[in-house]
Amino acid sequence: MSTEPGNTQQPAGLAATGFGRRRALLAAGAVLAAGIGAAADELTNGDRASSRSTASNALPPAPAIPFHGARQAGAMFSQQPATQLISFDLPQTSAATDRETLRKVLGALTRVLSTAASETPPDPRLQGAGTTRLTSLVGVGPALAARLGLNVPAELADLPPFHGDRLDPARSNGDLLIQLCASDRWTATVVAELAGTAAHAAGAVPRWTQSGLLPHTAPDTTPRNLFGFKDGTANPDDAAAEQWVWGPPGPHHNGTVLVYRRIRMDVAGFAALPKERQNLVIGRQADNGVPLTGTAEHDDPDIYAKNPDGSYVIPATAHVRLTSPRLDGGARMLRRSYSYDDGPDDRGLLFCAFMRDPAAFTRVQNRLATRDALTPFLEHRASAVVYVLPGATQGGTLGEKLWE
Ligand code: HEM
Encode pLDDT of 162-192 as tens digits.
Answer: 999 999 999 999 999 999 999 999 999 999 9
Separation of CA 352 and ligand 1 centre (Å):
11
Distance of CA 274 to the CA centre of its chain: 31
- Asked if pLDDT for residue 236 goes beyond 60, the answer is yes
- 305 in the same domain as 189: yes
* Host H or E run for residue 267: helix 267-271
What would the mean pLDDT of 207-231 be, rounded to a whole number?
Answer: 93
Q: Which residues pair with 257 in a beta bridge?
A: 355, 387
- 82 in the same domain as 28: no
DSSP code, position 299: S
- Whether ligand 1 lies within 6 angstroms of the CB of 233 is answered as yes
Q: Give the CATH number, domain containing residue 150.
A: 3.30.70.1030
Residue 93, domain member (yes or no): yes
- Asked if pLDDT for residue 17 goes beyond 60, the answer is no
Residue 315, domain member (yes or no): yes
- 342 in the same domain as 228: yes
- Asked if pLDDT for residue 10 goes beyond 90, the answer is no
- 269 in the same domain as 207: yes
DSSP labels, 56-118: GGGSPPPPPPPS-SSB-GGGTSPP-SEEEEEEEE---S-HHHHHHHHHHHHHHHHHHHHHHHS
Residue type, 83: T
What would the mean pLDDT of 363-387 be, rounded to a whole number?
Answer: 98
231 is catalytic: yes
- 345 in the same domain as 384: yes
Query: What's the pLDDT score for residue 47?
Result: 38
- 109 in the same domain as 23: no
- Asked if pLDDT for residue 59 goes beyond 70, the answer is no
* Host H or E run for residue 22: helix 20-27
Q: Are strands 256-265 and 378-388 parallel, antiparallel or unpaired?
A: antiparallel
- 149 in the same domain as 34: no
Of all residues in the chain, what percent carry a pLDDT higher than 70? 85
Residue 226, domain member (yes or no): yes
Final residue of a structural domain among 11, 28, 57: 57
The pTM for the full model equals: 0.88
- 43 in the same domain as 134: no
78 vs 269: CA distance, rounded Å: 31
Query: What's the pLDDT score for residue 218?
Result: 76
What would the mean pLDDT of 314-329 be, rounded to a whole number?
Answer: 97
- 122 in the same domain as 38: no
Question: First and final CA of the chain: distance in angstroms?
Answer: 31
Q: Average model confidence (pLDDT) for the chain?
A: 87
- Whether ligand 1 lies within 6 angstroms of the CB of 331 is answered as no
Residue 64, domain member (yes or no): no
Query: What's the pLDDT score for residue 294?
Result: 98
- Asked if pLDDT for residue 394 goes beyond 50, the answer is yes
The angle, 0 to 180 degrees and rounded to 10, between the axes of the packed helices 185-201 and 95-117 is 150
- 160 in the same domain as 42: no
The total domain count for the chain is: 2
Residue 58 confidence class, pLDDT cut points 50, 70, 90: low
Residue 3, domain member (yes or no): no
Separation of CA 380 and ligand 1 centre (Å):
14
Residue 261, domain member (yes or no): yes
- 246 in the same domain as 157: yes
Residue 366, domain member (yes or no): yes
Kindly report, residue by residue over 240-291, the tens digit of the pLDDT: 999 999 999 999 999 999 999 999 999 999 999 999 999 999 999 999 999 9
Please name the residue whose Cα sits nearest to atom 18 of ligand 1: 320
Phi-psi region of 168 (alpha: psi -120 to 50; beta: other; left: phi over 0): beta
Residue 128 confidence class, pLDDT cut points 50, 70, 90: confident
- Asked if pLDDT for residue 311 goes beyond 70, the answer is yes
Choosing from 98, 175, 231, 357, the catalytic residue is 231
Residue 86, domain member (yes or no): yes
252 vs 356: CA distance, rounded Å: 9
- 245 in the same domain as 130: yes
* Residue 392, domain extent: 73-403
Kindly report, residue by residue over 193-205, the tens digit of the pLDDT: 999 999 999 999 9
